[in-house]
Structure 1
Amino acid sequence: MVQKTQKTQDKVRVVILGGVRENGKNIYAVEVNSDIFILDCGIKYPENEMLGVDVVIPDFSYIEENIDRVAGIFLTHGHADAIGALPYLIGNHDIPVFGSKLTVELAKITVKSVKASRKFNNFHVIDENTAIDFDAATVSFFKTTHSIPESLGVVIKTPVGQIVYTGDFKFDQAASPLFQTDFARLAQIGTEPVLALLADSANAESPYPNTSESDIGKYVLETFEYHSGRIIVASVASNIMRIQQVLDAAGKTGRKVILTGRDLAKIVRTALHLKLLRLPNPNILVPVKDIKKYDDHQLVILETGRSGEPLKSLQKMATNRHRTVHIHQGDLVFISTTPSYAMETTVAKTKDMIYRAGGEVKAISDDLHASGHAYRNDLQLLLNLVHPKYLIPIQGEYRSMNAHAEIAKQTGIPADHIFLTKIGDVLSYDKSGMHLAQGVTAGNTMIDGLGVGDIGNIVLRDRKMLADDGIFIAVVSIDRRKKIVVSAPKVTARGFVYMKANRDLMAESATIVKETVQHDLDNKEMDWSNLKQNMREKLSHFLFEQTKRHPVILPVIMEVKPRRRLRAPEKKPATPANSVDKEK
């Protein structure tokens, strides 16, 4: 009887809630019997067609439906793609959150930025030596190399084998102690059965080895030494490794460093407090208000932009719209991180704007292969260290995941043991092996200002139509009782056509509105929704015929109410003042 219960309980599932076929938004749920272990909880930044959207977070429906089973959230590192969505999940649920000291401190900053989650404080600091025993599994950790200190991978030891999650990682044999991978621990993990490996695929297409961070540090120093003007460094706020290299180079060349943006200042203060970042000298950081006190050759401006997006800030600097810094003749803009392929057009546009403003641009990616993610050989070395039975490529667009799968096949992993998943997929393990099970509800939730999830495909479609073809407004007044259009309809447009040059078009549109409304009044029972829909259809057909555009059409119908005629009270005839005297 005990044996039967044990067999029933040995149930393992991997639920993909984000992070596949996309860049960012990492979140995965590993179910072991009745417990659910959540791996990371990240955001991604919106694509160009997501007009007005600030960030995109995962759909938490499945987690919220099973919230009583969640054992904890395990964070691998402090970047937004791993911790950014945390406030939107824990705002209503008191779930334990585990991470390294720096990761937890950065997660606290993220959590406090959203009102609903400011009181949350169920954080637990762990490190590479920690092992946590739960009813169904044991969770332990291993050190990895990434662009931020104290990055950790996660191992979930289940009754049927280990589930290994790398988070974002790369291998760098010359990494400083803060960033070194624990290869011995990886080899030790591989001595026991590894059921499945969830591994970073973001850089799987690259055949070139990543440049060692020590060499990148020398490159940054050379850039600072050979430029005599002001240097504006564009970086990601949480790339602590790059920030340290900038500070070191500034210290050796006698420059002061100005930090722009509150997010960057908070991260730097936190890293300094934890002694994970060091200043070459105590006076190297100066406030932005003192920028005019120094000559150009004395300054380095570190710009990370709002929400870690430095390119938009650089564009503002180049067009004199930035609140404190304007690019001028002699400035060097040093792009110190490697943008994704999706940002190539934006990077080219930004460079053009900088040159027009009189500056010049140097990008680290022009000369070096710099990435925080593992390339082809790194991924093969990882596979040979941990020997997984099944591989689940994650963190990357489909082509990157597919490249990862091809790499794995070269190391001997069978094709049917590699799963190229999509969001919402569930991988279940039983006696017959690991296979796709019935999926779950998953997808994107869009954040727009204070709104969470109130932006959907219909709203985005309307925004795109407004951006592409503008809006056309038709206002008409009717007397429903008399069944007549009271006055000529008023039509106007914004972002559609230049009205003064298209008076005939506007006049004919007004005629169509009047005829459509009058036809409905004469021939149909009065129905507001049908009347508006008919106006939209007639106008849409006419405007497309004339302009080949589809503006958003907004009909406005006003009803004229008949006036109530009130009878004035009768006036009593006034009595003459001298009438009494006459009678007398």
Structure 2
Amino acid sequence: MTKLNLVALGGVRENGKNMYAIEVDDQIFVADFGLKYPDNELLGIDIVIPDLTYLEDNADRIAGIFLSHGHADAIGALPYFLAEHPVPVFGSELTVALAKLVTANDPRSKKFKDFHVIDDKSVIDFGNVSVSFFKTTHSIPGSLGMTFETPVGQIVYTGDFKFDQSASPMYQTDLSRIAHIGDKKVLALLEDSANAEETQQTATEKAIYDYIDEAFKYHEGRIIVAGVASNIARIQQVLNAAAANGRKIVLTGKDVEKIVKTAIKLNYLVLPSEDLLVKAKDMKTLTPEETVLLETGRMGEPLKSLQKMATNRHRLVHISEGDLVFITTTTSHAMETMVAKTKDMIYRAGGEVKAISDDLKSSGHANKGDLQLMMNLLHPEYLIPVQGEYRQLDANAQAGVEVGIPESNIFIPGLGDILSYDNDKKILYAAGHVDAGNTMIDGIGVGDIGNIVLRDRKMLAEDGIFVAVVTIDRKKKKIVSTPKLTSRGFVYMKTSRDLIEESGELVTKTVQKNLDNKEFDWGHLKQDVRDELSHFLFDQTKRRPVILPVIMEVNQNSAKRQ
């Protein structure tokens, strides 16, 4: 009897961080190993990766990591696992090349070499499981869906995909291969849900190119293109449009330089002319009418870089009168406020803004019709929506009901949920939970930032800090000097003298009370000061600053002898 478990370790009820474990008997097959970029409330956090505890505890059972494409939401977490657990990694040529860039940039994983290049014709035999692949259309070449053929049926994971009938050969979906997979039993379909709420057809890549070309043709000044470094399809369109309109391209970020050079080397990006790319140091040799700056920002995030350009803080570019900022990426709903703020800053600097998303519905992900077409080609017994927030997973589930999949056969998993196959009843069912969640990366720290630290950061950002410094002589049970109080980001000291004086009296009273106590304890003293000040300051200001008591001890008799 075959033991089969499906575990969502990331990528469900959230955007990004895709990671799914398919357990068959003693082997674990991991589909994607991604990260996500933090929301605004995760102050100071660089990236977020899945909790890797379950995989670390079962590393000896992992047959391999299988990557669907080369975006950060599918490959970004690799360095944090491969350094200690060097399991084989499989992906298409470009996906592996980008995964190598990710691991080589991290000192923990730069020695890892166990990469295996596969394509849509590859079949990998792992005994009772074989893994095969099929071409899909996404915003990056080499995107692959994958099929895990088990004794109880096929498990199909789509990865990021959409259907585009006008896609170039490099990006075309292999519809006949997908239909052929559907001729055999598909037990479960793990399907991309990121664009499941959209019912209208998204714009074709040809329509998007025409839009970019028109913008380049009719703008007379400098153009700053903001995009995602790993969106190879969009970068190719920008290159083509620049060449067609007599412009040169300047790459302004290290991320985009590495990715573009890698894609050119592997022939996934084609330069229309040899002199199209101009180095940043030679940018001044170009007139505004022949200049296109391609900006992706750190880790592919262009908005913060655009804000720096608009406020003269960017290392290379300052937005000025006559500049067009052309936003070619579709941002998530969570980023809409930041987008509006960025646009405002650009207009204040004298530039203007044009965004593809304002006029065209562009996405690298399947809409409702595409999702239903995939279901009808594969005929899955069970549908498992993945890759999206809950409302998107639910929209995909409803699309499944419309094509005839019973509601009882559709699961919307949470992080760590286990779906198991019952060999006797021949059904898939919810069977428990494993530890799963977020691991936050801050600088070189991995997982050392928790809810308490984030709470303190939020308090510091919103209400500031209040420091009380007191010097005591514990043997004489007295305060040597009056408390010194300082605040940053809380109140302006010079205009809040009454508040500061009353706070000082409260600190004096609290410290003296602890000194008079027969069972003196340093921890109790600091906590009492913290509690009393917290209550008092909130009553007076309705704010809760981080309170930091600093208690110093001296022995006055010893000081006099010295």
Q: TM-score range by the shorter chain?
A: over 0.9
Matched, 1:425 2:378: no
The residue number in structure 1 matching 2:115 is 123
Aligned residues: 560
Deviations 1:172-200 (A, max 9, x none): 00100000000000000000000100000
For residues 537-569 of structure 1, give each alpha carbon's deviation from its aligned partner in whole angstroms, at most 9, with x where no partner exists. Answer: 11011101110000000011111124448999x
| AA of the residue aligned to 1:517 | V
TM-score (norm 1): 0.95
Once the two structures are TM-superposed, the CA of residue 486 in structure 1 deviates from its matched residue by 1.1
* Mapping 1:537-576, distance limit 5 Å: 537-564=531-558
Distance 1:492 1:30 in 2: 56
Give yes or no for contact 1:45–1:55 (8 Å, CA) kept in 2. Answer: yes
Report the AA paired with residue 484 of structure 1. Answer: K
- The alignment status of 1:440 with 2:434, answered yes or no, reads yes
Secondary structure at 2:293 match in 1: strand
SS at match of 1:389: strand
Aligned counterparts of 1:292 and 1:126: Cα–Cα separation in 2: 43
Q: 1:151 aligns with which of 143, 155, 158?
A: 143
**Match of 1:165, as an amino acid?**
Y
- Alpha-carbon distance change, 528 to 162 in structure 1, aligned in 2, over 3 angstroms: same
Deviation at 1:74, TM superposition (A): 0.1
Q: Look up the match of 1:49.
A: 41
Letter of the 1:540 counterpart: S
- Mapped to 2, the partners of 1:127 and 1:210 lie a distance apart of 27
Map Cα deviations across residues 308-348 of structure 1 (whole Å, 9 max, x no partner). Answer: 10011011101100000010111111001111111111111
In the aligned structure 2, how far is the partner of 1:566 from the partner of 1:550? 41
Matched, 1:470 2:464: yes
Indicate the residue corresponding to 1:369 in structure 2.
361
Shift of 1:525: 1.0
Find out whether 1:230 has 2:219 as its counterpart: no
Runs (4 or more) in structure 1 with deviation over 6 Å come to 565-568
The CA distance in 2 between the partners of 1:223 and 1:298, in whole Å, is 13
Residue 146 of structure 2 corresponds to residue 161 of structure 1: no
Q: Report Cα offsets for 1:451-494 as digits up to 9, x if no partner.
A: 01100000000000000100000011111111111110111100
Matching of residue 519 in structure 1 with residue 519 in structure 2: no
SS of aligned partner of 2:497: helix
Q: Which residue of 2 aligns with 1:496?
A: 490
Which whole-Å CA distance do the structure 2 matches of 1:203 and 1:392 have between them?
Answer: 15
Distance in 1 between the 2:280 and 2:8 partners? 43
Match of 2:383 in 1: 391
Q: 2: CA distance between counterparts of 1:54 and 1:403? A: 30
Q: What are the within-5 Å matches in structure 2 for residues 229-268 of structure 1?
A: 229-268=221-260
Letter in 1 for 2:107: K
* Structure 1 position 248, deviation (Å): 0.3
2:95 equivalent in structure 1: 103
Give 1:210 deviation, angstroms.
Answer: 1.1
| Counterpart AA for 2:463 | D
Quick check: 1:277 aligned with 2:278? no
For the residues of structure 1 that align with 2:204 and 2:459, how far apart are their CA atoms? 47
Q: Find the aligned partners of 1:504 and 1:416 in 2 and give their Cα distance.
A: 66
Q: Secondary structure at the match of 1:504?
A: helix
In structure 2, the partner of 1:84 is 76
Residue 312 of structure 2 is aligned with which of 305, 310, 320?
A: 320
Alpha carbons 1:35, 1:136 under 8 Å: kept: no
Amino acid at match of 1:11: K
TM-score, scaled to structure 2: 0.99
The secondary structure found in structure 2 opposite 1:216 is: helix
Question: What corresponds to 1:452 in structure 2?
Answer: 446
Structure 1 CA distance for aligned equivalents of residues 263 and 328 of structure 2: 19
Equivalence for 1:34: 26
How far apart in 1 are the matches of 2:502 and 2:369? Answer: 67
**Could you tell me which residue of structure 1 aligns to residue 128 of structure 2?**
136
| 1:212-256: CA deviation from partner (whole Å, max 9, x where unpaired) | 101111111111001111110001000000000000000010000
Task: Write the letter of the residue equivalent to 1:41.
Answer: F
- Separation in 2 of the partners of 1:564 and 1:206? 77
**Any idea what SS the aligned residue of 2:486 has?**
strand
Counterpart of 1:488 in 2: which secondary structure?
Answer: strand
Residues 565 and 317 (structure 1), Cα distance of their counterparts in 2 relative to 1, 3 Å cut: closer
Asked whether 1:64 is paired with 2:66, we answer no
Q: Describe the shift of the 1:414–1:224 C-alpha distance in structure 2 as closer, same or farther (beyond 3 A).
A: same
Identity %: 64
Residue 346 of structure 2 corresponds to residue 354 of structure 1: yes
Please tell me whether residue 174 in structure 1 is matched to residue 166 in structure 2. Answer: yes
3-state DSSP of counterpart to 1:459? helix
Structure 1 position 523, deviation (Å): 2.7
Does the residue aligned with 2:481 lie in a helix, a strand or coil? coil
AA aligned opposite 1:350: T
Separation in structure 1 between the aligned mates of residue 398 and residue 417 of structure 2, nearest angstrom: 21
Q: How far is 1:294 from its partner?
A: 1.1
Give SS of 2:154's match.
strand
Letter paired with 1:548? K
- Displacement of 1:83: 0.3
8 A Cα contact 1:335 1:361, kept in partner: yes
Q: Secondary structure at the match of 1:49?
A: coil
Give secondary structure in 1 for the equivalent of 2:538.
Answer: helix
Structure 2: give runs of 5+ residues left out of the alignment.
Answer: none
Match of residue 480, structure 1, among 461, 471, 474: 474
Matched position secondary structure for 2:11? coil
Distance 2:518 2:403 in 1: 73
Aligned residue for 1:78, secondary structure, equals: coil
Say which SS state the counterpart of residue 351 (structure 1) adopts. Answer: helix
AA aligned opposite 1:509: S
Quick one: distance in 1 between partners of 2:198 and 2:366?
Answer: 9
Comparing 542-551 and 516-525, the one that deviates more: 516-525
Separation in structure 2 between the aligned mates of residue 270 and residue 499 of structure 1, nearest angstrom: 55
Shift of 1:136: 2.6
Q: What letter corresponds to residue 534 of structure 2 in structure 1?
A: S
Residue 207 of structure 2 is matched in structure 1 by 215
Aligned amino acid, residue 476 of structure 2: K
Identify the residue that residue 301 of structure 1 maps to in structure 2: 293
Q: 1:567 to 1:496 in 2, by over 3 A?
A: closer
Shift of 1:504: 1.0
CA displacement, residues 156-186 of structure 1 (integer Å, 9 cap, x when unaligned): 0000000000000000001000000000000
Contact 1:34 1:136 in 2 (8 A): no
| Letter in structure 2 aligned against 1:238 | S
Letter of the 1:545 counterpart: D
- Give the C-alpha shift of residue 94 in structure 1: 1.2
CA RMSD, 1 decimal? 1.1
SS of 1:229's equivalent?
coil
For 1:136 and 1:535, the matched residues in 2 are separated by: 65
Question: In structure 2, what residue type is equivalent to 1:316?
Answer: K
Which secondary structure state, in structure 2, belongs to the residue aligned with residue 241 of structure 1? helix
CA change 1:241–1:566 in 2 (3 A) is closer
